[in-house]
Amino acid sequence: MDSFVGGVAMGFAIAAPVGPIGILCLRRAVAGGFLAGLSSGLGAACADAVYAALAVGALTFVAAIVARLAVPLHLAGGVVLIVLGLRTALSALPRVSREVVCARAGWRALVTTFGLTIVNPATMLSFGALVAAAGFGRGGGDARGAAALVMGVFVGSALWWCVLSAFGSAVRRAISPAVMRGIDVASGAALGAFGVWALAGA
């Protein structure tokens, strides 16, 4: 139980800071409603759980692999973010209906955010540090505790995306089309900036 609660705290803490996934999730929730935002967030939650499992199972080995792949991962993530940023900003021109945005959510949104999160080396390093501090990944903790921690990470991360999606869904009715276009442009610019930053750090 302690491992599960610790995992929830880890997942929530790592998901909560503002980043490209948060921007995508919030923008999709504002445009398409709660489920549209949540489908994006759950992709990140799945990736967080994968990284937590890797960190628990083979912390040193996985960290070495991530270090070797850091450059291509940064490049891939940067390019995808720039493309998403351009598409998001350009969607403000011919206004896409909220129903269409919602219909485009689901598995495609989940896969997109899963991919973006999984290619972010910082996610693995963050989980590695927290998992090591919790006593896993270096011979500490049993299999049941490790599984509980990974499940807790998923629940904690998903909980944050539920909160963010609920917020976006709550404010969407008060947003005019003009304001939504502004949100699209601002979101696209922010995603593009994150992409350029990722490329610069490669």
**Three-class secondary structure of residue 135 per DSSP:** coil
At 70-89, the pLDDT tens digits run 667 667 767 776 777 777 67
At 56-69, the pLDDT tens digits run 766 555 556 666 66
Q: What are phi and psi of 170, to 5 degrees?
A: -70, -35
**Confidence class of residue 139 from pLDDT cuts 50, 70 and 90?**
very low
At 3-61, the pLDDT tens digits run 788 889 888 988 887 788 888 888 888 888 898 889 889 999 998 888 888 777 665 55
User: Hunting for tokens 């998903």 — which residue is that?
Assistant: 158
- pLDDT for 161 equals 93
Q: Cα(115)–Cα(58) distance, rounded to whole angstroms?
A: 21
**Can you give the C-alpha Rg of the chain in angstroms?**
17
Domain ranges of the chain: 2-200
**Residue range 130-138: mean pLDDT, rounded:** 56
Q: Cα(162)–Cα(164) distance, rounded to whole angstroms?
A: 6
